[in-house]
Amino acid sequence: MSRVQDVYPDDRVSLREVGLRDGLQLVKSFPSTSAKQRWIRDEYAAGVRHFEVGSFLPAKTFPQFADVRDIVKTVAALPGAHGVALALNERGVNEALASSVAEIATVVSATEEHSQANANRSRDSAIANVKRLCELRDASAHKPIVNAAISMALGCSITGPVDPNEVVRLVEKCLEAGVDFVAIADTVGYAGPRQVGELTKAVVRIAGSKPVCVHLHDTRGMGIANASAALDAGARVLDGSLGGLGGCPFAPGATGNVVFEDLVFLCESKGFLTGIDIERLIAVRSILRSEMPDETLYGGLARAGLPRGTSAKAA
Amino acid sequence: MSRVQDVYPDDRVSLREVGLRDGLQLVKSFPSTSAKQRWIRDEYAAGVRHFEVGSFLPAKTFPQFADVRDIVKTVAALPGAHGVALALNERGVNEALASSVAEIATVVSATEEHSQANANRSRDSAIANVKRLCELRDASAHKPIVNAAISMALGCSITGPVDPNEVVRLVEKCLEAGVDFVAIADTVGYAGPRQVGELTKAVVRIAGSKPVCVHLHDTRGMGIANASAALDAGARVLDGSLGGLGGCPFAPGATGNVVFEDLVFLCESKGFLTGIDIERLIAVRSILRSEMPDETLYGGLARAGLPRGTSAKAA
């Protein structure tokens, strides 16, 4: 058994807090390093074990990730916690490797049009980048887990509908390139649960013993329904952000990632034990509110609380 | 084939706008009669055909429903539109019958505790009320459709968890009493999709050829996921309210019914043609905003718009 199955065991659901990366991608003000560290430590105390910590991008353009090395260390210091950092090119990958982060994630666009527009490269070039990342991993001392996410996998902000066969083909290419696991992302929140279920099922089938992550945005209110469909289809790694932090550059006013607290409630209600205490998790929102007062936080559990008679359920 | 199958055919999904009743249950200010009429006519123009129009309750306590007779007439005047009114006791039933509303809905609490606390009567007495309603229907000239909804069917604000066998038993009693169809209601938004799917499946089984309505609240963000599960389990009648209007007396700040626009998007994404134009539906929110400026409106589609390449889909 490889290490990826230790980090993401297939007999339980792993929920990843991606607010510190995806949630901060578009915000105008962002938390201080110490606030990020409290955010992580408080969520850890609530039972969260998987954190996307930031992105290895030029600090000039993305100052919110300038402290990514510190945040990598913060997560690494917590027993059993797992940190993930995004790296999009070889410079970023080398910096990520030097940081000793436990997992490096990279991205391949589902459509040629989005790949060119967003990353100024072809999808073939993005796959070559994935392969290079895997080679650098193999040559590294600590050999981090490598994940490739197919962005726009369920709909593209440029082309609209996306052929699922193309996504499956790209997933196969990433697996051939040597990634430890793959993610499919509904980057702009276009999909409904049937589409998510069908694509997840196809990707789970070709992934074999490797985990499949489904990364969803709640842009059109389908986030939780899509997460439920992904679980039904066999995905066991799901992303979310506290309070649904994060937005969408293509849909002003749209919500961000799936609300993490609600995602925990969904999983528990479906019989998947997450080990996460929802009430303690909700309490962490105060850090986001005080650090980013202009950001709207979402979430049903935070508004309404746990149902009567279930307060001990998620403990 | 009885009339209920004409109004709610089993080969398609019927989405009911319940904002004019359930959505207005708790609001402090409410729309004028003419605004309600515009709300209905504009949604009708967008393709909506099923409207809960109000409740036959004492106008002193519930002034928002004082014009229910006018609203019944507004819906009746629209070809193919179907109006539903709530009536909780014999006085209300007689008034509803006199109004010639096409459907009368009544309620039975899933738990004895809630029945006593909310309606000051036992569940047996509520069932007797259902039976009396069916007798009055049979004796009436226009013989409206009769629906019984089991409130708190998926969790109770007093007892917490609810035994699904009890709900099934109450559904059977209502069917024996002569109702044309039943509804199960997650009145306080306690359930997740697994629970909704399981109960819906059980109720669909005993309902036979009669439709099953699932009435969901989005209190904890599970509304759309639960609606998806209800559809998967065979429900073909779902309730929602424009902008998710309505709240919950037991959870301050909680959202109300499932957001109607998002429900339409969900159904279309699952291949159920609703005949409803989402963009025209979203435009109707302006009536709610101007008539009830203090009410928060929710909804993903209203924030983000239809995905690229799908604008013609729901037309």
A chain contacts of residue B251, beta-carbon cutoff 8 Å: 303-305
Q: Is residue A19 part of a domain?
A: yes
Answer yes or no: do A300 and B159 touch at CB < 8 A.
no
Distance CA(A258)–CA(A270), nearest Å, equals 17
**Does A159 contact B at CB distance below 8 Å?**
yes
Active site residues of A: 248
Asked if residue A93 belongs to a domain, the reply is yes
Residue of A190, A219, A220 to mutate for B, most B C-beta atoms under 10 A = A220
What is the predicted pLDDT for the residue at A311? 56
Residue B315 lies in a domain: no
B 167-206 residues with CB < 8 A to A: 188-195
Interface of B with A in 207-226 (CB under 8 A): 218-222, 224-225
Using an 8 Å Cβ cutoff, are B257 and B22 in contact?
Answer: yes
Strands A212-216 and B237-240 turn out to be: unpaired
> What's the sign of the alpha-carbon dihedral B77, B70, B72, B247?
positive
Scan residues 230-249 of B and list those with Cβ closer than 8 Å to A: 248
Please tell me if residue A107 touches chain B, with a CB cutoff of 8 Å: no
Q: How far apart are CA B87 and CA B106, in angstroms?
A: 5
Q: Is the CB of B220 less than 8 angstroms away from the CB of A255?
A: no
- The CATH number covering residue B170 comes to 3.20.20.70
Average pLDDT, integer, range A134-161: 96
Nearest residue in chain B measured CA to CA from A188: B307
CB-CB contact of B308 with B315 (8 Å): no
Cβ-Cβ pairs closer than 8 A, A with B, add up to: 152
* Between B248 and B60, residue with greater pLDDT: B60
Residue B310 inside a domain? The answer is no
Distance from the B156 Cα atom to the nearest Cα atom in chain A, whole angstroms = 8
SS3 state of residue B259: strand
- Euclidean distance between CA atoms B257 and B62, whole angstroms: 19
Mean pLDDT of chain B: 95
Residues of B in contact with A221 (CB under 8 A): 224, 259, 262, 265, 299-301
Would you say residue B311 lies in a domain?
no
Q: What total number of domains does chain A contain?
A: 1
Q: Give tens-digit pLDDT for A175-218.
A: 999 999 999 999 999 999 999 999 999 999 999 999 999 999 99
| pLDDT tens digits, one per residue of B97-119 | 999 999 999 999 999 999 999 99
Cβ atoms of residues B108 and B153 within 8 Å: no
C-beta of residue A49 within 8 angstroms of C-beta of residue A14? yes
| Average pLDDT across chain A, whole number | 95
Residue A313 lies in a domain: no
Angle at B153 between CA A12 and CA A193, to 5 degrees: 45
State residue B315's pLDDT score: 37
Nearest CA in chain B to A198: B270
pLDDT digits (tens, 9 = 90+) for A265-278: 999 999 999 999 99
Asked if the C-beta of A228 comes within 8 angstroms of chain B's C-beta atoms, the answer is yes
Range of B291's domain? 3-304
pLDDT of residue B311: 56
CB contact under 8 A, A304 and B193: no
- CA of B149 to nearest chain A CA: how many angstroms apart? 21
Asked if A302 contacts A243 with a C-beta cutoff of 8 angstroms, the reply is yes
CA distance B297 to B289: 8
Q: How confident is the model at residue B312 (pLDDT cuts 50, 70, 90)?
A: very low
Q: Is residue A68 part of a domain?
A: yes
Contact A159 B259 (CB under 8 A): no
With CB atoms and an 8 Å threshold, state whether B194 touches A270: yes
ipTM for the predicted complex comes to 0.95
pLDDT tens sequence across B178-230? 999 999 999 999 999 999 999 999 999 999 999 999 999 999 999 999 999 99
Question: pTM of this prediction?
Answer: 0.96
CA–CA separation, A212 and B161 (whole Å):
33
- B134 is an active site residue: no
pLDDT value at B314 more than 50: no
d(CA A107, CA A234): 22
DSSP state of A1: -
Question: Among positive and negative, which fits the CA dihedral B296, B300, B301, B304?
Answer: positive
At B195, is the secondary structure helix, strand, or coil?
helix
B100/A contact by beta carbon, under 8 A:
no
Residue A310 placed within a domain: no
A228·B193 Cβ contact <8 A: yes
